């Protein structure tokens, strides 16, 4: 904006200097007010600010003349200029705020949400049936005073086998086909190593009452009843005067909780290197009530887990004196329990993530 240069002679006329400066600034202020009316956006505003307050603005030019004024007139002159600049700035900032609000209003209008539109369909997720059964069994055992322990899925040969009384080259290693990572590390084939880790941590001096849920891995070929990865829950009680009948009572409670209050169990002699004696535990078939049918292969019973009294060698290796302490342990496969309970004929249903299957259990 071209503002004529101030008339020096006019400015220097004694006694009129300050008044003329005030008039000039007043005139400039009116010009600024007019200019601001035409300002549309931040760009325009920036330009107007440069015109009225920048280095080349008239007010800055007038300021340069202060040095030519008599000493006594300088303070009033400087004050007039500074107050003028202050008012210009305020006018410009007010305009800036006005633009900001207008832009915000526009943005809010554009982004307005139509709350009357239909919400998109969604189906809430749910806990997988395997984890639901794990939680159910955990609740049952917590109610009986057990603690929950967990251990690593990548285990060492020492904890998975050796400290469970399965030395290298022992034929019992063939019972669980193992996925090795290297010579020493492997994917745990069962949850029994957590027994050992917990007993060692307790240091042989106090009773143990734990369950250990978790994933385990085997080099099994997947078929209707075998998976290379499945879930187990291990149970371990070590105390003075622990007997086989404590084990039987505990497992009967589990069987009735899982399959119905009228179920019976049967213990069959078996072999595990870490328990002595060892048993396989069968539950009466829910399909035929123990009379014999296709599901239980006419036996009236279905196998659900392995168990036994903790082998003295295992107690000793874990720091417990077998003269004083005895223990029982059991290990059950969650998928097999779920299959029996819900009549699922193929273990692979649990892992293919077919929502039609999963939703049956929500």
Point out which residues bind ligand FA5 (CB under 6 A).
176, 190, 192, 218, 220, 226-227, 230, 232, 234, 272, 275, 305-308, 329-333, 335-336, 347
What's the min distance (Å) between Cβ of 223 and ligand FA5?
Answer: 9
> CB-wise, 95 or 336, nearer to ligand FA5?
336
Distance separating alpha carbons of residues 32 and 107, to the nearest angstrom: 28
* CA 250 to each of CA 259, 329, 342: distance values in angstroms, whole numbers, following the listed order: 14, 10, 23
Phi-psi region for residue 340, left (φ > 0), alpha (ψ -120 to 50) or beta?
alpha
What's the min distance (Å) between Cβ of 208 and ligand FA5?
Answer: 13
Whose CB is nearest to ligand FA5? 333
Peptide bond into 277 cis (omega under 30): yes
What's the min distance (Å) between Cβ of 189 and ligand FA5?
Answer: 7
Residues 6+ apart with CB under 8 A from 151: 159, 188, 191, 193, 194, 197, 212, 214
The beta-strand segments (E) located in 95-142 are none
CB 170 within 8 A of CB 273: yes
> CB-wise, 275 or 326, nearer to ligand FA5?
275
> CB-wise, 77 or 159, nearer to ligand FA5?
159
What's the min distance (Å) between Cβ of 354 and ligand FA5?
Answer: 19
> CB-wise, 48 or 160, nearer to ligand FA5?
160
> CB-wise, 84 or 333, nearer to ligand FA5?
333
C-beta neighbour count of 102 within 10 angstroms: 12
What's the min distance (Å) between Cβ of 117 and ligand FA5?
Answer: 48
């Amino acid at each position: 904006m071209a503002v004529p240069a101030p008339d020096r002679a006019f400015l220097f006329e004694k006694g009129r200097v300050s008044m003329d400066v005030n008039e000039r600034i007043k005139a400039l202020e009116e010009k600024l007010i007019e200019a601001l009316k035409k300002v549309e956006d931040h760009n325009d505003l920036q330009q107007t600010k440069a015109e009225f307050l920048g280095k080349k603005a008239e007010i800055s030019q007038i300021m340069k003349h202060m040095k030519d004024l008599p000493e006594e007139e300088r303070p009033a002159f400087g004050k007039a200029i500074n107050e003028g600049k202050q008012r210009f700035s305020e006018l410009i900032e007010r305009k800036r705020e006005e633009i900001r609000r207008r832009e915000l209003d526009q943005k809010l209008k554009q982004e307005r949400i139509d709350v009357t539109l239909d919400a998109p369909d969604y189906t809430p997720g749910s806990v997988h049936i395997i984890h639901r059964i794990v939680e159910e069994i955990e609740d049952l055992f917590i109610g009986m005073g057990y603690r929950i322990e967990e251990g690593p899925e990548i285990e060492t040969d020492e904890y998975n086998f050796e400290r469970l009384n399965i030395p290298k080259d022992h034929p019992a290693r063939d019972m669980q086909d193992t996925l090795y990572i290297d010579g020493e590390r492997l994917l745990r084939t069962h949850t029994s190593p957590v027994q050992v880790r917990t007993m060692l941590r307790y240091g042989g001096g106090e009773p143990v009452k734990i369950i250990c849920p978790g994933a385990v891995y085997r080099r099994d070929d997947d078929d209707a009843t075998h998976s290379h990865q499945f879930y187990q829950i291990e149970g371990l009680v070590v105390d003075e005067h622990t007997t086989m009948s404590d084990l039987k009572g505990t497992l009967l409670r589990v069987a009735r909780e899982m399959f119905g209050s009228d179920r019976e169990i049967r213990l069959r002699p078996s072999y595990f290197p870490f328990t002595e004696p060892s048993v396989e535990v069968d539950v009466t078939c829910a399909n035929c009530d123990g009379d014999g049918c296709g599901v239980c292969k006419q036996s009236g019973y279905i196998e659900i887990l392995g168990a036994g009294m903790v082998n003295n060698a295992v107690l000793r290796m874990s720091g417990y004196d077998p003269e004083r302490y005895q223990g029982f342990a059991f290990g059950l496969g969650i998928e097999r329990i779920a299959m029996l309970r819900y009549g699922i004929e193929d273990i692979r249903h649990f892992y293919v993530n077919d929502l039609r299957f999963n939703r049956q259990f929500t």
